[in-house]
Amino acid sequence: MTKEQIKDKIEELRKTLTQYGYEYYVLDTPTVSDFEYDAKMRELIELENENPEFNSPDSPTQRVGGEVSEGFAEVTHTVQMQSLADVFSKEELFEFDERVRSALGVDSVEYVTEMKIDGLSVSLEYENGLFTRGSTRGNGFVGEDITQNLKTIQSIPLKLNEAIPYLEVRGEVYMPQKSFIKLNEQREASGQPLFANPRNAAAGSLRQLDSKIAAERKLDIFVFNVQRVEGKELTNHRQSLDWLADLGFKIIPGNQTFDGISAAYQEVQRIGENRGNLTFDIDGSVIKVNSFAQREILGTTSKTPKWAAAYKFPAEQQKTKLLDVVLQVGRTGVVTPNAVLEPVRIAGSTVSRATLHNIDNIKSKDIRIGDTVVIEKAGDIIPAVVKVIKEDRCGTEVEFNMPENCPVCGEKLIREDGEAAVRCTNSNCPAQQLRSIIHFVSKPAMDIDGLGASIIEQLLDEKLIADSADLYRLKYDDIIKLDRFAEKSAMNLINSISESKSRGLDRLLFGLGIRMIGSRAAKILAERYGNIDALMAATREELSDIPEIGEKMSESIVEYFKQDKSRELVNRFKELSVSTEYTSTVASDILSGKTFVLTGTLPTLKRSEAKSMIESNGGKVSGSVSKKTDYVVAGEEAGSKLDKANALGITVITEEELIKLLNNE
């Protein structure tokens, strides 16, 4: 082919693939098979690689990801990305309508209702119809440039159907429920912590510095607002949504226009009743004044528009049958009762298990096997039983009592005074062994990459390990014979295990899983004693004198190291060259005496990274805001902690300002 023919072929493939993608990702009506789509995509990639002079930013090949950023640049929003005022009842919604009508001097207002997508708000900018930049909401005034990650979202058009001179739109990036379930299954298999909900997963995905990872997460978007436009006159919201759809955007489905708040409220109720049937998460409904002229009159506050309200739904509840109660033994021996349910759909997924917390909770709610129960899923992975529908009882229901012996190993169960938890006392209990090792290899502990729960189960089943110290005896020949291991992955795991030997005393202490000793307490102990021998020799009285280490924690530490098995485990770690010494990571004392609270999603840092930076420079990180808090570091979608900080007059800073503090600027 001549160069001109190649160029024409490339253009033809781009046009065809763009149309296929629009049909699949926006209209949800694919017209070709995945095989045919993939074949054309491979052909286009090959032609573009061989003819780079024809590369274009609007090519479908730009969506595959792979670009790695060093960080995200700041973007100053020319139009503030405001949040919405929340209402929680019919009365509050009608009060909102009364304020609107009073300000406008009218008897009735036309409203548009939309589903409130539970995701991450972003801005998309287009010049002459081409996608040029995408950014997060940030604090509403300044966000982060995440263009490369947004390009991986197939439903975002890289080229509009009209070459409009300039357009900025606002949308909500979300993770479809099926993508969320698949992602958590993959993370569980590899021993990584699970995302709590699709919204957290979407936010984490958009902040991946490697856009290829973002592409693998299968995110989606609904566009719901025109922020700024040049070259087009729009008079109302309904018109703008229709126009956005014509341009190729995926708008929130089911938008409705109503004359008056009563009809709008009925639609809000209908949306709430049907949210369990959706394939994506919503947490409410948005009610907006339709007329842009009326919006102009109403204006905004410093944070929210006066022409819109977000009606927030309560946590979704469903009725189902409690078929049985099963027990799960955790890494510290705590035996947790879980309800086996008649499968029911709630918050977009089918649920067949729910936590019952402990025997006291079961007795106080009088939960019985065979009961009709109400379950609730409020952002958590595992739903909980809220109450029993006692009027549905027929007399065949059976009371549940905790057994005297462990359901896994048969050893005696105990319940200590003042505790709700019932425990298995056998430290060799197989269930405890598995969960103990999963905890030991986790990221906050020894951070052994590639050692997930399923692999640990294989190692235990094959008798290759019996506890966490045995991991350091593993050889390449042990790993390569396990399922799904090739030469490279086996060697990577061996290297990861070897690297973890130098994590230090604080990470090792946390990894041991001593009751009541979290990562913060482990670091305090490591800093105080310096090595594990000194800690093992510490008395209960000495430990109790340490700030933040109370009597119960002191008792737990002493009891743990009093056991022969614990001392033997420590000696084996030493023999296997696992560091039992603490090496200070304090870079400076510049934040000494200062207490920080982290809230919201930070632009470039994970919360754990920000916490580590603060602590390594002498500061303290707390989980709650109080008068003793010096700084609140607020990221995107900061919630009640930010509100409390403002109410108490506590200094609120951004991630950038935190970095400046660390650099003594």
Question: Which residue among the candidates 3, 7, 90, 116 is catalytic per the annotation?
Answer: 116
Contacts of 178 (CB under 8 A, 6+ apart): 279
Structure tokens at 260: 């008056």
Q: What is the DSSP letter of 315?
A: P
Phi, psi (5° rounding) for residue 137?
Answer: -70, -40
Q: What is the DSSP letter of 502?
A: G
Structural element, H or E, at residue 126 = strand 120-127
Helices (H) and strands (E) in the chain, counts: 24, 24
| Identity at 386, one-letter amino acid code | V
In three-state secondary structure terms, 120 is strand
Contacts of 158 (CB under 8 A, 6+ apart): 18, 57, 58, 59, 60, 62, 63, 130, 131, 151
Is 361 exposed, middle or buried, given 0-12, 13-18 or 19+ CB atoms closer than 10 A?
Answer: middle
Task: Give the whole-angstrom CA distance, residue 469 versus residue 514.
Answer: 15
C-alpha distances out from residue 607 to 200, 204, 205, 208, 610, Å: 13, 11, 15, 14, 5
**17 neighbors 37 (Cβ within 8 angstroms):** yes
CA 656 and chain centroid, separation: 23
CA 326 and chain centroid, separation: 28
Q: Catalytic annotation on 9?
A: no
CB neighbours (10 Å) of residue 395? 5
Polymer length of the chain: 665
**599 neighbors 639 (Cβ within 8 angstroms):** yes
Provide Rg for the chain, Cα atoms.
28
Task: Give the whole-angstrom CA distance, residue 476 versus residue 488.
Answer: 10
Q: What is the full DSSP assignment across 588-657?
A: -STTTT-EEEEESB-SS--HHHHHHHHHTTT-EEESS--TT--EEEE-BT--HHHHHHHHHT-EEE-HHH
Task: Give the whole-angstrom CA distance, residue 449 versus residue 602.
Answer: 24
| Identity at 510, one-letter amino acid code | F
In three-state secondary structure terms, 533 is helix
**530 neighbors 582 (Cβ within 8 angstroms):** yes
Task: Give the whole-angstrom CA distance, residue 267 versus residue 111.
Answer: 11
Structure tokens at 102: 């009073």
Closest CA to 425 of 416, 417, 437: 416
Which residues are marked as active site?
116
